[in-house]
Homo-oligomer: A and B are copies of this chain.
Amino acid sequence: MYYQKDITRGVDGTFMWLMEEIGELASALRGDDRENLAEEFADVIAWLATIANVAEVDLNAALVAKYGSGCPGCNRLVCECPNSEKP
């Protein structure tokens, strides 16, 4: 949707937009506007996908590779790692 603009801007510039949306998400999480909160989640995902495109990373493949077979730590579909481990 925005590929040409994204490539022109590059990874770093795009990352700045991601950070702006992360801030808006943090703010929305403190409020009660559910519709705005949903929009901010969508915006963060959109910018993440944008950076992945500019960095030429296949986001779907990345997700399946890391989480497709259950928890990377204990391999269960419902995680059984000890609480002290990074979740």
Secondary structure of the A contact surface, majority rule: helix
A41 to B65, CA, bound (A): 11
B5 touches A79 (CB 8 A): yes
Do A71 and B2 touch across chains, with their CB atoms under 8 A apart? yes
Are B59 and A45 neighbours in the complex by a CB distance under 8 Å? yes
Partner of A77, one of B1, B9, B46: B1
A26 → B minimal CB distance (Å): 7
What is the interface of chain A, defined by CB distance below 8 A to chain B?
Answer: 1-6, 9, 11, 15, 17-19, 22, 26, 29, 34, 37-39, 41-46, 48, 51-52, 55, 57-59, 61-63, 65-67, 70-71, 76-79, 83, 86-87
